[in-house]
Structure 1
Amino acid sequence: MKNPSTLTCTRLLKCSISLGVFAATNLQTLLARLLGRDSRGTCVVLDYHSLPPDQRTRFAEQLDTLLQLAEPIDVSTDIQLRSGVRYAGVTFDDAFENFVHQALPELEKRNMPATLFVISDALDKAFGPAGCAERVMSLEQLRSLPTGLISIGSHTATHPMLPLLSESEARMELVQSRKSLEERLRRPVLTFSFPFGGFSQRLIELCREAGYKRVFTTLPVLAFTDPSEFVVGRVRVDPTDWPLEFRLKLAGAYRWLPAAFAFKRKIVSCPILRPFFGRMGQGARSLSRIRELSSR
Structure 2
Amino acid sequence: MTGTRVPILMYHSVATEPNHATRTLSVTPEAFAGQLAVIADRGLTPLTTAELAARWRTGRPLPVRPVLITFDDGYEGVHRHALPALAEHGFPATLFVTTGWIRGAHDTGGGPDTMLDWRQVRRLADAGVEIGGHSHTHPQLDRLDDTRLRTELSRCRDLVADELGSLPVSFAYPYGYSSRRVRTAVRGQGFAQALAVGNSLARRAQGPYALRRVTVRRTTDTEEFERLVDGRAIGRTFARDRALTKGYTVVRRTRGLRRTV
| Separation of aligned partners in 1, 2:129 and 2:199 | 22
AA at the equivalent of 1:85 = V
The corresponding residue for 2:50 is 76
Match of 1:51 in 2: 14
Cα gap change, 1:104 to 1:164, in 2 (>3 Å): same
CA distance in 2, matches of 1:187, 1:39: 30
The Cα of 1:240 is off from its aligned counterpart by 3.7
Residues 79 and 227, structure 1, Cα contact 8 Å, conserved in 2 = no
Q: CA 1:98–1:149 in structure 2 vs 1: closer, same or farther (change >3 Å)?
A: same
Q: Distance in 2 between matches of 1:188 and 1:200?
A: 23
Report deviation, 1:248: 1.6
Partner of 1:153, secondary structure, is strand
Larger Rg: 1
* Other-structure match for 2:161: 182
Percent of matched pairs sharing the same residue? 27
Structure 1: gaps (5+ residues): 1-37, 270-296
User: What CA distance in whole angstroms lies between the structure 2 residues aligned with 1:196 and 1:248?
Assistant: 23
1:67 lines up with 2:33 in the alignment? no
SS of equivalent residue, structure 2 residue 156: helix
Q: Structure 1 residues 264 and 106 mapped into 2: Cα distance closer, same or farther (>3 Å)?
A: closer
Query: How much does 1:147 deviate?
Result: 3.2
Stretches of structure 2 lacking an aligned partner (at least 5 in a row): 18-27, 252-261
Contact 1:119–1:158, Cα closer than 8 Å, also in 2: yes
Among 193, 199, 207, the residue aligned to 1:220: 199
Q: Deviations over 1:102-152 (max 9, x none)?
A: 100000111101100111111116645xxxx31211111112224352010
TM-score (structure 2 length as normaliser): 0.77
- The residue that corresponds to 2:255 in the other structure is none
- Give 1:83 shift: 7.9
Stretches of 4+ moved more than 6 A in 1? none
RMSD: 3.0
How many residues in Structure 1 have an aligned counterpart in Structure 2?
A: 227
Report the Cα distance in structure 2 between the residues aligned to 1:227 and 1:122, rounded to whole angstroms. 30
Q: Larger deviation: 178-187 or 101-110?
A: 178-187
- 2:23 maps to which residue? none
Counterpart residue type for residue 165 of structure 1: L
- TM-score, length-scaled by structure 1: 0.68
Letter in 2 for 1:167: D
Shift of 1:247: 1.5
CA 1:262 to 1:79, structure 2 compared with 1: closer, same or farther past 3 Å?
A: farther
Distance in 2 separating the partners of 1:225 and 1:172: 29
Q: CA deviation at 1:68?
A: 2.5
